[in-house]
Amino acid sequence: MTPYHFSAGTLPLLVTIPHAGTLLTEEVEAGLSEAARGLPDTDWHIPLLYDFVRDLGASVLIGRYSRFVIDLNRPADDRPLYTTATTGLYPETLFDGTPTFKPGMTPTVAQRQHYLDAIWTPWHEKIQQELARLKQQFGYALLFDAHSIASVIPRLFEGRLPDLNIGTNSGASCSMGITQGLTQCCNAQSQYSWVMNGRFKGGYITRAYGKPAEKQHAVQLELAQCNYMDEQPPFGWRGEKASVLQPLLKQLITTLLAQGATS
C-alpha cells in the first residue's frame, strides 16, 4: 500500500501534510494504550482545511499512516529537534506524557526498521523528487508544511498556544523576504494571535528541505486546533470556524508564492 497520497500541481509549491494519517499496522493497533486508541495527537482535518490549495495549483503530499507508527517529521536517526519535551521518530508517549503503548506491546526493532524502510523513506523520497521537479521547471521550489496541535498541552508549552505558529528554523529555511512577507501578512490582521519561530520552529521536513541558498524555501505552520475543530474526542470539524480561518491561510500561502518568486 502506498504510504501517502500525492497530487501534482502547476505551481512551484509543494504542501506537505505528514500527521493527518490514521492507518495503523497490526502490531501498533494491538499494542496501543487505551489513551492512544483514539489517535489524539493526529493533525485532524488538515487535508480538508487546506483543500483550497489544490485549486490554487499546489502539489499536495499527505501521509497515510499515523504518527504512532512512525513520525514523518522526525529525522531517521531520531535525533531530538527540541531541547524541551517532544516526541520521537517512534513516539513512546503522547503529547501529554501518557504511554503510547501497553506494557510489553511496543513494536520490535525489526518492525520499526520496516516502518522506516516502507513508510518514512518513500515519503521523503517523494518530497525530494517533487522539489527537484519544481526546481527544474521553475528554477526554484517552495514547501509549506501544514500541521495542527491542541491549543493547551502543559507538557510541551506554557499556557495557551498562539493561533498561528510559523516556523522557519529561526530564519534558516527560507529567504528573509519570505519571513518578512509572512510577518506583514500576520500583522495586517487582528483576529488571530501568532508567533514566528516560537515553540515550533519547524520540524525535520522544514529543516531538511529549507535550503534558501539553493532556491529551495520551506515554512512550517502549526495551527492551534481550536480555530477549526473540537479539541476533545471525537475531534469534530467546525466548518463555521474553518471558513473564517481559511482566507488567512490562503493569504499566507499566496504571500509565500509571491515572495518566493523573487527570492
pLDDT recorded at residue 263? 81
User: What is the average pLDDT across 148-155?
Assistant: 94
From the number of C-beta atoms within 10 Å of its C-beta (0-12, 13-18, 19+), residue 231 rates as: middle
Residue positions counted in the chain: 263
User: What is the average pLDDT across 106-129?
Assistant: 98
Q: Classify domain 4-260 at the CATH class level.
A: alpha beta
- Cα(242)–Cα(166) distance, rounded to whole angstroms? 18
- Cα(256)–Cα(258) distance, rounded to whole angstroms? 6
The pLDDT of residue 1 is above 80: no
Helix residue spans in 11-51 (DSSP H): 26-31, 46-49
pLDDT-derived band at 83, boundaries 50, 70, 90: low
The mean pLDDT value of the chain amounts to 96
pLDDT-derived band at 52, boundaries 50, 70, 90: very high
Tens digits of per-residue pLDDT, 10-41?
999 999 999 999 999 999 999 999 999 999 99
- Cα(98)–Cα(68) distance, rounded to whole angstroms? 13
Q: Report the Cα 241 to chain-centroid distance in Å.
A: 20
- The residue written with cell numbers 483543500 in the block is 51
pLDDT recorded at residue 92? 94
Please give the model's pTM, rounded to 2 decimal places: 0.96
pLDDT-derived band at 248, boundaries 50, 70, 90: very high
What percentage of the chain has pLDDT greater than the value 90? 92
Transcribe 5-26 into DSSP letters: EEE--SSSEEEEE-S---B--H
- Amino acid residing at 140: Y
- Amino acid residing at 221: L
Q: Report the Cα 78 to chain-centroid distance in Å.
A: 17
Q: Could you state, in order of their start, the residue ranges of all structural domains in the chain?
A: 4-260
Dihedral (Cα; 69, 237, 5, 169), 10-degree rounding? -70
The pLDDT of residue 86 is above 80: no
From the number of C-beta atoms within 10 Å of its C-beta (0-12, 13-18, 19+), residue 21 rates as: buried
pLDDT recorded at residue 81? 75
What is the helix, strand, coil percentage profile of the chain, to 5? 35, 20, 45
User: What is the average pLDDT across 71-99?
Assistant: 87
Any bridge partners for residue 61, and if so which?
6, 16
pLDDT recorded at residue 87? 80
pLDDT recorded at residue 148? 98
The pLDDT of residue 149 is above 90: yes
pLDDT recorded at residue 78? 83
pLDDT recorded at residue 79? 84
Can you give the C-alpha Rg of the chain in angstroms?
A: 18
The pLDDT of residue 234 is above 70: yes
The pLDDT of residue 84 is above 70: no
Tens digits of per-residue pLDDT, 208-232?
999 999 999 999 999 999 999 999 9
Q: Which of 16, 17, 9 is nearest to 58 (CA)?
A: 9
**DSSP designation for 46:** H
The pLDDT of residue 144 is above 80: yes
The pLDDT of residue 66 is above 90: yes
